Amino acid sequence: MAIRTILHYPDPRLREQAQRIEKVDERIRTLIDDMAETMYAAPGVGLAATQIGEAVSLFVIDIADEDEPSDLRVFINPEIVVKEGKLKYREGCLSFPGVSEDVERAAKVTVRALDRDGNTFELTADGLLGVAIQHENDHLQGKLMIDHLGLLKRRIVHRQMTKRDAD
């Protein structure tokens, strides 16, 4: 396992579309382990492969509190099949260090994906898990948290991140 470098906005690789994973093999399981270690070290609750420069359709999430056992969830080739309701949630992102903004998303989602072993599963989630699934799934499509903001807030965050890069 290895801690990978997390790409920060405005790195253009964050806009890449992830490619479907055709075979869940040892290379993919090693990538999952690296992503989990990177996410925990950051620390964060989710990480998409595109955030570490791997343009494959994979993300990991663990929303367990610090005093709870780890609950790592792996989503390979995820597809959100149902969205219900609306919810505003204050989100952060490992690719936008120090930034948190209110983002409107579906209140509840059902996602279909493959697990670490390549088995298909379906999960319905709301709250933080539902938000995290939508957030990480956006990354796989090259869509970022900033894209959910109004024009003024988007410009402010863009300036903040580009200034941070220059420092």
Which residues are annotated as catalytic?
Answer: 136
**DSSP assignment of 24-50, as one string?**
--HHHHHHHHHHHHHHHHTT-SEEEGG
Q: Closest Cα partner for 94 from 165, 142, 32, 145? A: 145
93 DSSP assignment:
-
| Alpha carbon separation from 104 to 2, 60, 77, 91, 147 (Å, rounded) | 34, 21, 24, 10, 11
If you search the block for the tokens 């290379």, which residue do you land on?
27
Burial level of 93, CB count in 10 A (0-12/13-18/19+)? Answer: buried
Q: ∠50-122-120 over CA atoms, to 5°?
A: 75
